[in-house]
Amino acid sequence: VVIILQGRYAGKKAVIVKNFDEGTSERPYPHAVVAGIERYPLKVTRSMDKKKVAARSRVKPFVKVVNYAHLMPTRYTLELEDIKAAVTAESLQEPSQRTAAKKAVRVSLEKRYLTGKNKWFFTKLRF
């Protein structure tokens, strides 16, 4: 788990899907493909009905290529086999593939949130 430091998603938590330590020809700097949470799930109380709980448990994901200089690693980890299958560096080129990758990330993150795993990852960073 990393925290994005710069840009539109600054202060948001993400997981590294694939890293490029040496860089590539079009990006000659070390970078990583990350999948993270743009909008975190809201607080849920016992008195809320199922429909409201489902709506407040929604997650808005993002997928992005980020320079290592703009990432801060944390001590937390996340098992992400299902996310790795959905998000690749090639899937970020085409807009339709990008939305499909986001949908797959959303499904896997919401499933993980509802099972109660990785609680820290789904809380907003307070700063």
Nearest to 18 by CA among 6, 1, 4, 34: 34
Supply the DSSP symbol for 34: E
Alpha carbon distance 28, 15 (integer Å): 22
Positions of the chain with pLDDT under 50: none
Six token digits for residue 3 = 């925290």
pLDDT in tens, 75-102: 998 887 888 888 877 778 888 888 988 9
